[in-house]
């Protein structure tokens, strides 16, 4: 079974992030430009939270808030579920399914090492099954 490290080695370890003081509009534009569904909220190397398209839909759109005047800090999740590079794809799939999340930051030696999505895990599982 593949490890998270293998996923990061193949997909890359780029961290797409934003600061908590940024506007939600800036966050949504960045997600659209980079074609991702979430951003890590960082203060330097420190992980402060995660903001997702779902946060935007539920905490801004539905509530009629302004994307321009609402800060990322107001809608981000601060209790971030993370994984480590030595976890298996199955471990992560179970964790993400149980927690109902689609994006999982990867932490190595106390630092953010990358991000995996539910799509990355599904692709890895399909690849393993084809190899068998």
Angstrom distance (rounded) from CA 80 to CA 129: 30
Residue 18 parent element (H or E): strand 17-18
Q: pLDDT tens, 83-109?
A: 999 999 999 999 999 999 999 999 999
Q: pLDDT tens, 51-62?
A: 999 999 999 999
- The number of beta carbons lying within 10 Å of the beta carbon of residue 88 is 16
| Full-model pTM | 0.90
CA geometry: angle at 80 spanning 68 and 62, to 5°? 35
φ, ψ for residue 14 (rounded to 5)?
-60, 135
């Amino acid at each position: 079974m593949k490890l998270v490290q293998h996923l990061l080695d193949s997909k890359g370890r780029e961290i797409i992030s934003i600061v908590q003081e940024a506007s939600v509009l800036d966050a949504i534009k960045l997600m659209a430009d980079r074609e991702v569904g979430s951003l890590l909220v960082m203060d330097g190397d420190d992980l402060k939270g995660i903001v997702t398209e779902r946060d935007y839909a539920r905490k801004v759109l539905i509530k009629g808030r302004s994307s321009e005047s609402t800060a990322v800090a107001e809608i981000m999740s601060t209790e971030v579920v993370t994984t480590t590079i030595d976890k298996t794809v199955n471990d992560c799939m179970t964790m993400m399914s149980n927690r109902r999340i689609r994006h999982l930051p990867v932490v190595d030696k106390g630092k953010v090492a990358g991000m995996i999505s539910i799509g990355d895990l599904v692709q890895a599982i399909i690849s393993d099954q084809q190899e068998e």
